Structure 1
Amino acid sequence: MSVQILRLILLLVMPAFLFGFKLEAQHVGELGSASALREHYPEVLETLRRLDQAHGVLLYELAIEGGIVRSSGTDLPTFGFEFDMIDRMTSVVQGEGEPEDGEIAEAGLDALGSRAAEVVRWGRAFQREVISILADHSVMHRSAHLEDAVALYHSRPGAALTSAPKNMDILYDHAFALDFRTGYADLDGFIWAGHWFRLAATEPFTDIDPGVERKEGIDTVTNRYFSKLTYGEPPEFFPSEIPLAPAIAPGLIWLSPQAAMIWDNLSMYLEVLADVLASPDVPDVPGAIEAITDFFMDPELAVTDQDEWEIMALRHGIFFQGGYPLSVMTQSELNVDGHAAHFSSGGGPGLTIPGMPRGR
């Protein structure tokens, strides 16, 4: 069967039923309404919306692509897939996408199954709410409001990731580790640029008082994000390490370590999900996604403390994670690259995800 025919078949069945998952619409309720962002900084909210849409489109297409690669019996990505997706996702985040992109993005989340889709939607709603609290001119005690947002987030235990930071070793040690990064490095970098923007967008709100300078700070972050999509020289290029709060958003950690830990757990969760969707070897996609979700929701399994989380994130390099939001970095502050810094830290025994189906 040709790749074109297989792709057509998958496109036809995807919207209704993929990998045996039941599709259910999810609603995030009041968390994520982001009223302050909507009122005072609508351009930030719009960029966040476009980033979420681009990521959903990628999940949709990556689920199809992974099925094609596994059916082909090889581990080679489809020729041209990555280039075409970079072009398409860039159009989405620039506001030049297609009318159907919104529906495709929702189908991309649904491709994860109803449970994982709910986790991602609820996590994105939480991120929007955190940024909106930071942006709210009327909030005097932001730490208390962020604490309330964390409590509301955890009020849905079926959708909330743990606020205990997961050990980063899981990114390198699970059964299909680095399959997305290895097969589609630029797509991974594109997603990481979006992670950078979400974190970087908190800094003008945590560091600068309302007024002209804050608006200039927001413009700086936005312009730096779009410059990362230009294939220039770093920092005008995709991050080469996954952006994490200790490196990019220290102000958020100062106000609410728990919110920042949830944020980073969501970023790592999405990375491992992408590994599974892209892997040429995964024998059971739904089973793997369920195991991943169990792992990231478990408050005791493979967690670390705040100090170790911050140290490990910084060892991966601020520069490699996209650089400071409000000042320019043109070279690394480390004497090794971020990936090497992870392994040079000593680490511990390799981590596994309980219940994760092994490769074929």
Structure 2
Amino acid sequence: MIRKQLNVLKPALTLVVSLSVSATALGQTSPELARLYDAFTVTHAAALNAIAEANNDPEFAQARAEMRQHLEQMQEQASSHQSHGQMMSHGMMPASDSSHAHKPDMDKLDLQTRVELTHVVRAEHSDTAAADAYSNIAWLPREAAMVLARGRQFEDKLWDIWANPDMGVNAKSQATQAVIEEYRTGETRHAISVRPKPASLYLDHDYAGSLKSAYPRVSGLLWSNQWLQLASLEAIIRGQVDPQFQGRVTDTLERYENKLGSGSGMSMFPAPVEMPTVPTIAPTLYTLAPEASIIVDNLNMLDAAITDIVAYPDLDAQTREQAILNKVAQFTDENIATDDMSYLLSALRGGIYNQGGPAIGELMGSERNRSRDAMGMQHHMSMSGPN
């Protein structure tokens, strides 16, 4: 069992960042969304802590060793496929990954962690707890904590702008651009690049796919949280640009509750199996504010990469820290980038259904003829950009 309570509020240096946290408009228009957004940050930090703690728990030493062997085998298979010109969707993860099939201890750990994190999601968390969540992870490199915290504050400002009922769409677009400029010029060292990053940075590295393989339920929960952030924002914006879609935020909350499921980690509706992206789940935001969309997706890709690194079994602390710092450096480096069209194609490759389903409307099954895994390649497809 996991014998210790999840504790993300450990003493640590409080981050000093230039962007101020303001969720007034969101708190007024949708208090439950405001609560959940804080909870999602705390939950992500709690997941990192819980997984890192499990990696040091002797009770699961054998399970970790077996999982690491499994991941190494998957990496070898991926390398073999790549040598024949085939790119796997999650770097080392093939389509038929069944990592828990004969690993009951790992399955038990995943389930217990998922249940604990569900309690974190459902709890009340202050704005301060959310703002300090990453700095309170004692083992997380300070540079990484600064980048994640500053990114969260950018998202807070962005969500607050679009939730403001007293601003028109044009005014919100202008305010969004101002926030982007503040983000990119304030503390550049701790700002994610505003240029789109290649998906390979999170899909194709030494530890890619670790979370999904070792902790599939936890992965589903974290991506469900990400889905709601994007889906609820899409519902807010769509309701502003087209009156027939007003009042649909409640629908996204209901769908999220179905994905979250019961306290046992069971869910009536499938959680995302691909990382939700702005062009797929919040296309109206992408159309109105493509630069902001790129920043959000870059941040989420960095989140995914860091979580995969932490989830890799029995990675020593020094190697883990250096791997995290390397990823942070890649995502803050303006020279590492792809073009806008490749970003769009990459974001859409996983499909709407696999990324959690649409914010508005119905989709009962995958709209893709084949999954990204079955196609044996990373994200690439064609679609026009915003007008």
The interval holding the TM-score normalised by the smaller chain is 0.7 to 0.9
Task: Tell me by how many angstroms 1:285 deviates.
Answer: 1.4
Contact 1:65 1:78 in 2 (8 A): no
What is the total number of aligned residue pairs between the two structures?
A: 329
Q: Does 1:145 align with 2:178?
A: no
Tell me how far apart the structure 2 counterparts of residues 67 and 278 of structure 1 sit (CA, whole Å): 12
Q: Does 1:57 align with 2:90?
A: no
SS at match of 1:280: coil
Where does residue 161 of structure 1 map in the other structure? 192
Tell me how far apart the structure 1 counterparts of residues 138 and 150 of structure 2 sit (CA, whole Å): 13
AA at the equivalent of 2:42: Q
Where does residue 350 of structure 1 map in the other structure? none
Pairing partner for 2:22 from 13, 20, 33: 33
**What are structure 2's unaligned runs of at least 5 residues?**
68-104, 382-387
Map residues 1-360 of structure 1 onto 2, 5 A cutoff.
15=10, 23-68=12-57, 74-76=65-67, 78=106, 80-95=108-123, 105=133, 109-140=137-168, 141-154=171-184, 155-209=186-240, 216-230=247-261, 231-232=266-267, 236-280=269-313, 282-283=315-316, 284-301=319-336, 303-341=337-375, 343=377
Contact 1:167 1:309 in 2 (8 A): yes
> CA, structure 1 residues 241+264, in 2 after alignment: closer, same or farther (shift >3 Å)?
same
> CA, structure 1 residues 27+107, in 2 after alignment: closer, same or farther (shift >3 Å)?
closer
Contact 2:239 2:247 in 1 (8 A): no
Task: Tell me by how many angstroms 1:119 deviates.
Answer: 1.1
Tell me how far apart the structure 2 counterparts of residues 45 and 336 of structure 1 sit (CA, whole Å): 37
**What are structure 1's unaligned runs of at least 5 residues?**
17-22, 348-360
Task: Tell me by how many angstroms 1:216 deviates.
Answer: 2.7
Pairwise CA RMSD: 3.1
> CA, structure 1 residues 329+106, in 2 after alignment: closer, same or farther (shift >3 Å)?
same
AA at the equivalent of 1:146: T
> CA, structure 1 residues 160+106, in 2 after alignment: closer, same or farther (shift >3 Å)?
closer
Task: Tell me by how many angstroms 1:171 deviates.
Answer: 2.5
Task: Tell me by how many angstroms 1:54 deviates.
Answer: 1.4
Tell me how far apart the structure 2 counterparts of residues 43 and 321 of structure 1 sit (CA, whole Å): 23
SS at match of 2:248: helix
Task: Tell me by how many angstroms 1:172 deviates.
Answer: 2.8
Cα displacement string for residues 329-352 of structure 1 (whole angstroms, at most 9, x for unaligned residues): 1011110114335717679xxxxx
Task: Tell me by how many angstroms 1:245 deviates.
Answer: 0.7
AA at the equivalent of 2:292: A
SS at match of 1:191: helix
Contact 2:13 2:136 in 1 (8 A): no
SS at match of 1:74: helix
Identity %: 25
Tell me how far apart the structure 1 counterparts of residues 130 and 160 of structure 2 sit (CA, whole Å): 23
> CA, structure 1 residues 134+91, in 2 after alignment: closer, same or farther (shift >3 Å)?
same
AA at the equivalent of 2:324: I
AA at the equivalent of 1:318: I
Could you tell which deviates more after superposition, 305-314 or 189-198?
Answer: 305-314
> CA, structure 1 residues 333+104, in 2 after alignment: closer, same or farther (shift >3 Å)?
same
Contact 2:235 2:245 in 1 (8 A): yes
> CA, structure 1 residues 245+225, in 2 after alignment: closer, same or farther (shift >3 Å)?
same
Could you tell which deviates more after superposition, 211-220 or 151-160?
Answer: 211-220
Cα displacement string for residues 269-298 of structure 1 (whole angstroms, at most 9, x for unaligned residues): 011111111112634111111111101111
Contact 2:10 2:137 in 1 (8 A): no
> CA, structure 1 residues 194+55, in 2 after alignment: closer, same or farther (shift >3 Å)?
same
Tell me how far apart the structure 2 counterparts of residues 93 and 345 of structure 1 sit (CA, whole Å): 30
TM-score by length of 1: 0.81
Where does residue 74 of structure 2 map in the other structure? none
Could you tell which deviates more after superposition, 206-215 or 108-117?
Answer: 206-215
Tell me how far apart the structure 1 counterparts of residues 364 and 180 of structure 2 sit (CA, whole Å): 35
AA at the equivalent of 1:38: G
Where does residue 19 of structure 1 map in the other structure? none
